[in-house]
């Protein structure tokens, strides 16, 4: 069934892969860039620019959420000592999916989802559980890394010269502990 999907987008690379997959499934896509986790602010704007470039290539409308890193820190910062993938990330996923759900409720969409599952290091079950607990069937469960999703996204990013970051996003991953993104 063709649906109007609101897609939470974390960066240009992931947008390229996920939007192409959703369009191949026959859906129409509207993007929502909401990532207060990204640090520093210059990096936030670099990733936003890359998403805008992907939106031009793929022809989708893009909404931009508020960047409030201090508010995000008040939620996730208490788990800064934990490794990537632990509670800090769960809170981070929840914050971004929840805000996307709020945007979904105010728009004209059939369902919403997130690009976050495309990352090889990202736990798709956890992300899908968070989305479904928040929004039930309004959240479209997906795992965009399947069917070589991440590899295809990287190929598009290279072809379109999209910025490819070498860390997940927050200050505690800045030293490049996510080497698959290089
Ligand atoms: S490592 Fe990535 S997902 Fe985890 S808290 Fe930092 S920015 Fe969020």
* Location of structure tokens 């031009």: 56
Task: Indicate whether residue 37 lines ligand 1 (CB < 6 A).
Answer: yes
Tokens encoding 55? 């939106």
| Number of domains composing the chain | 1
Whole-number Å distance between alpha carbons of 2 and 94: 27
pLDDT in tens, 25-61: 999 999 999 999 999 999 999 999 999 999 999 999 9
Q: Is the CB of residue 181 less than 8 Å from the CB of residue 164?
A: yes
pLDDT in tens, 163-176: 999 999 999 987 65
For residue 106, say if its preceding peptide bond is cis, omega within 30 degrees of 0: no
Mutation test of ligand 1: which of 11, 80, 88 has the most ligand atoms closer than 8 Å to its C-beta?
88
What's the domain range around 149? 4-181
The whole-model pTM stands at 0.95
pLDDT value at residue 182: 35
**pLDDT surpassing 80 at residue 96:** yes
Q: Which CATH number belongs to the domain containing residue 139 in this structure?
A: 3.40.50.620
Atom 6, ligand 1: which residue's CA is nearest? 170
Whole-number Å distance between alpha carbons of 57 and 88: 33
Whole-number Å distance between alpha carbons of 50 and 34: 14
């Amino acid at each position: 069934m063709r649906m109007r999907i609101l897609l939470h987008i974390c960066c240009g690379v992931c947008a390229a892969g996920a939007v192409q997959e959703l369009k191949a499934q026959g859906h129409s896509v509207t993007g929502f860039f909401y990532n207060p986790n990204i640090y520093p602010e210059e990096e936030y704007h670099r990733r936003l620019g890359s998403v805008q470039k992907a939106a031009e290539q793929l022809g989708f409308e893009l909404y931009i959420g508020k960047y409030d890193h201090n508010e995000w820190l008040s939620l996730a910062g208490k788990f800064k000592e934990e490794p990537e993938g632990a509670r800090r990330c769960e809170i981070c996923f929840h914050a971004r999916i929840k805000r996307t759900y709020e945007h979904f409720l105010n728009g004209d969409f059939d369902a919403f989802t997130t690009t976050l599952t495309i990352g090889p290091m990202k736990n798709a079950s956890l992300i899908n559980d968070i989305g479904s607990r928040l929004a039930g069937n309004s959240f479209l469960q997906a795992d965009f890394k399947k069917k070589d999703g991440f590899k295809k996204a990287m190929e598009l990013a290279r072809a379109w010269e999209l910025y490819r970051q070498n860390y997940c996003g927050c200050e505690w991953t800045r030293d490049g502990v996510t080497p698959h993104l290089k």
